[in-house]
Structure formats: C-alpha cells, structure tokens
Amino acid sequence: MEQPRLLTTAQLADELLRDVVAVAVAELYRPTQDLTRTIAELVASEHVPYLAALRYADTGLVTRAVWENVWALQRIEDPYLARVEELREEKKSAEAIARDAGADAAAKAAAEATLIRLKHELPGAEEVHRPYREAIPLPPKYAPADFRRPSFWRQRGKLDVPKERFISYPEASRDGDPHLLLGWAGWDHREQAQALAMLITEREQTDGWGAQWLTPLLAGLRELLPWVYQWHGEFDPDLRRQPRRGVRLHSSPTTPTASSSPTTPSPPGAPPRRPEDAARRRPRPPETRYRSSWPPHCRAAVAARRRAAALRGNLRPPPATCLLRSRGKSAICVA
C-alpha cells in the first residue's frame, strides 16, 4: 500500500525533472526560469493550509466554530436518523410484498405482521429523532473577509467546500528549507491524518522539534480526527486494522507526540536534537496563550464544543486551538 507523501515545491520540481513533457511545458511557460520557481508560482494560488487558524481570519474562526458545533450535533443525530431510515426501508419492503399478487401466503402474512409492528414503532422512532433534528441550527455562510487570503476564498467559497489542488503545511518544512510543504488535496481524511502524523513523528524524532513547533501540527491532526472516526471506522483490509486506530495522540511530560504505534524508537544513528545555535537562527515560535487570555472568538469556539459535548454526555470536550496574528506577533491559544 502506497503511503501518502508530503513534498516541498523543490522536491516536486525534482520529481518533474524526470518527465520530459513537463519540463518542455515549463520551458514554454517560463523560458529560462528555474523549474522550482515555476512550480512555486503555479501552486501559489492553488493551495489552502491544513489548519483552520491558518485559513480563516478572526471572523472566519467564529463561523468555523458554529459549523463545528453543527457537525457535532449532526453526528449525535446520525444514529437516530439511521434508525428512522432503516424502519422506513423495512416498511417499503413489507408494503411491496403485501401488494405482490405472486407472493405466497406465508410471505404476505409476515409482511402484514411487519406493517402492524411498524405502525407503532416507526412513529416512535420519528418522535425520538425529531428533537435532535430540530436542535441543529442553520450555519452561517462565509464571506471573503473571513479568509486570510483572497485565493483561499476563491478555492473554498461561501460554504467552505474544498476545491483546491494542494494542501499546504506552512512552517513545516525542515530547518533551513524555505520551500513550501505540500500534500495532495485529493487525499481522504484518513490519508491526510496519516501524512500529518508521519510528519509530526519525523519532525520530533529526526529534526528535534519541541512542543511549541509541534503544537500547530497536532492541532491540525486533532481537526481531522472527528472525520477519521466518522468515515473510517470500519476494518480496512489494506491496513489490516481500523484506520482510526492508526493515528493516536499521546503526550509526554515534555513534548506532545503523534505516532502510528504506541512507542516508536528513534532510528539508529539519528541526528541529535536541534543544537541551540540552530534554534536561535530559527524564527521565534508563536507565543502560547492560555484560557485566561483567550480572545472572544476562541471562547466562542470552546462554548460551541462544550454545548455539543454536553448533548453527547461528555463532561469536557477537547479544547479549540487557534493561531492569532496581531501587531506582528503570533500566538497559539490552547487550554
């Protein structure tokens, strides 16, 4: 099974150098220009970041929190809706058998018994389902000002439907590599989570990244997990396990980690942790803000998550994480 790979624009250009047709087209498009630069220009308006805080402005994060609350309520509603649909299909099949002139007497008698049972059971299921359905509000639409870049708005639109070609991972390339890291937008949620988990493990164990630099990556993985649980809960014969069990978040006293196994030892001969001089050369990491200093849109996101968790019966939902930019400074809000 081929694993999803994240590539920088430079690595993507190296891959395309093997394709004679691609090189010829690039020469016609930008004569005498380096292929890496040409690739960077082409993907500049065709990518959207993996993390919500890197896609939306402050107003967009508030709208996103409302949408996440709606999704959480829909997941609560799903089993009740599935039960109603199951009973309706059963009723339709029983009615078809009851009308069939060629059906034998035993089948007709069973169908009649089923219809009598469903006459009371289906309205009861619909009555149970109704409050869950009515509790789901109509979410607001996005506006161009809700996105950090006009290109993000063009790729997503008012309903935030992904139409981009690439998923970008800003500030996630190796130390000293200025090229943008990209993934394919055609990956499903399981493949996106798998690629991100592999990236987090590599940056922590091979490149020696600390908790401050891993936090945005872990926040992106946390945003994917509800969809992995929802759409990839069945056994996958290719993976020989449930995909949602392949991505697991766990923490140590020093550094948060994402891995595909309970413990992944460092490879033999792995380079040491990032030296202090390299850490000083790297841009200053975002400041971490805790709950007491959260801005209003962060509080709105947490309130929405708590309401959804209360309906599910959870005592406390996972906190929202967002990235703020103000006065030239960055801050990551966590609980």
| CA 4/CA 187 separation, integer angstroms | 8
User: CA torsion angle for 226, 200, 35, 186 (degrees, to 10)?
Assistant: -20
Sequence ranges of the domains in the chain: 77-134
User: CA torsion angle for 304, 162, 216, 171 (degrees, to 10)?
Assistant: -150
Angle at 79 between CA 111 and CA 90, to 5 degrees: 10
| CA 221/CA 196 separation, integer angstroms | 7
pLDDT in tens, 271-322: 444 444 444 444 444 444 444 555 655 666 666 666 666 665 554 444 444 4
- Where b means 16+ CB within 10 Å and e means fewer, 16-52 reads beeeeeeeeebeeeeeeeebbebbbebbeebbbbbbb
Q: How many Cβ atoms sit within 10 Å of the Cβ of residue 153? A: 20
145, 57 Cβ separation under 8 angstroms: yes
Residue 28 backbone dihedrals phi, psi, to 5 degrees? -70, -35
Residue-level pLDDT, tens digit, the chain, 335 residues: 678 999 999 999 999 999 999 999 999 999 989 999 999 999 999 999 999 999 999 999 999 999 999 999 999 999 999 999 999 999 999 999 999 888 888 999 999 999 999 999 999 999 999 999 999 999 999 999 999 999 999 999 999 999 999 999 999 999 999 999 999 999 999 999 999 999 999 999 999 999 999 999 999 999 999 999 999 877 566 655 555 555 554 433 334 444 333 333 333 344 444 444 444 444 444 444 444 555 655 666 666 666 666 665 554 444 444 444 443 444 445 44
Q: Bridge-partner residues for 323, per DSSP?
A: 332
| CA 95/CA 328 separation, integer angstroms | 67
Sequence-ordered list of residues with C-beta below 8 angstroms from that of 24, at least 6 positions apart, any chain: none
Sheet containing 329-333: give its strands across: 287-289, 329-333, 322-326
Q: Bridge-partner residues for 48, per DSSP?
A: 167
